[in-house]
Structure 1
């Protein structure tokens, strides 16, 4: 089938909308309700959060973005498959949306088994893409030394500090340091040679005095 060859969350979401447009209004209502519940239970969720690839604040920001888009653009999201996929399955909104989507078909009785089957297949593909795809931070245009982390952190904000492979801060001593930096906002460990994220440490040890 055509959708088996889609490579991105947006492409998969586009296929889902095009194949089952009548399912979208009810789906959006469910996603909106889940987002509201997550925000209402934010303090409890923060205490039990355990995700090395995403901080709770990043997750919560994605939840807020998804809810806002549904609240303000519900009609357009129902009508346009392209708007649906680009709005709700882009960047950190994709993680939130396909989490809610999988929850929708696993906890709610669905009258259309084909819809459920497609959602579960696409969800598994999305999970595989997230786990396999390497992350890279970026830099300001024409300024390669002005890093911009995926969480939005920059040098003039929370900054980046030299670290070891575990993310704990160390002095950048030649022969002892492997050109790694820790983002002091989200805990991503970054290889300065190619800007690839090599790991996470949300609670790095500071430099010893």
Structure 2
């Protein structure tokens, strides 16, 4: 196995899925719910957008693309770490997904080991 600093985003996502498969359905559900809320309330999000890292419109496009990927491959993503990582970490959606995984771990997950691994892998 590679050392932590050598892992790609896709490899980190796959490892996370392999270690915590029970968290994946909840992560995908949270990401989907956020994408829907983001779409529904986009003007509210736009007004409060303060990220200098990327434009609101680009973040919105990543959210829409991610929602489509989950809709198309969600069932298989729950079952397979390879599908999960290959689909969500193939394009720049990886930026959006990583952000949502970190936020899920910080706010929604009750599993302390999961939270620690997410911090170690993605921050």
- TM-score where L is the length of structure 1: 0.54
Cα RMSD over matched residues? Answer: 1.8
Shift of 1:3: 5.8
Partner SS for 1:22: coil
Shift of 1:90: 3.1
Query: What is the aligned partner in structure 2 of residue 113 from structure 1?
Result: 112
Q: Give the conservation status (yes or no) of the 8 Å contact 2:63–2:96.
A: yes
1:128-185 alpha-carbon deviations (Å, 9 max, x no partner)? xxxxxxxxxxxxxxxxxxxxxxxxxxxxxxxxxxxxxxxxxxxxxxxxxxxxxxxxxx
Quick one: structure 1 residues 80 and 3, their matched pair in 2 at CA, closer, same or farther if it must change by over 3 Å?
Answer: farther
Shift of 1:53: 3.1
Quick one: structure 1 residues 81 and 69, their matched pair in 2 at CA, closer, same or farther if it must change by over 3 Å?
Answer: same
Query: What is the aligned partner in structure 2 of residue 88 from structure 1?
Result: 88
Query: What is the aligned partner in structure 2 of residue 10 from structure 1?
Result: 10
Task: Count matched residues.
Answer: 123
Shift of 1:24: 0.9
Shift of 1:109: 4.3
- TM-score where L is the length of structure 2: 0.88
Shift of 1:2: 5.1
Pair member with larger Rg: 1
Superposed, 1:63-78 pairs within 5 Å as 63-78=63-78
Q: Give the conservation status (yes or no) of the 8 Å contact 1:3–1:15.
A: no
Which structure has more RCO (C-alpha within 8 Å, separation ≥ 6)?
2
Shift of 1:19: 1.2
Higher strand proportion, which one? 1
Unaligned runs of 5+ in 2: none
Unaligned runs of 5+ in 1: 125-209
Runs of 4+ in 1 over 3 A off after TM superposition: none
Higher helix proportion, which one? 2
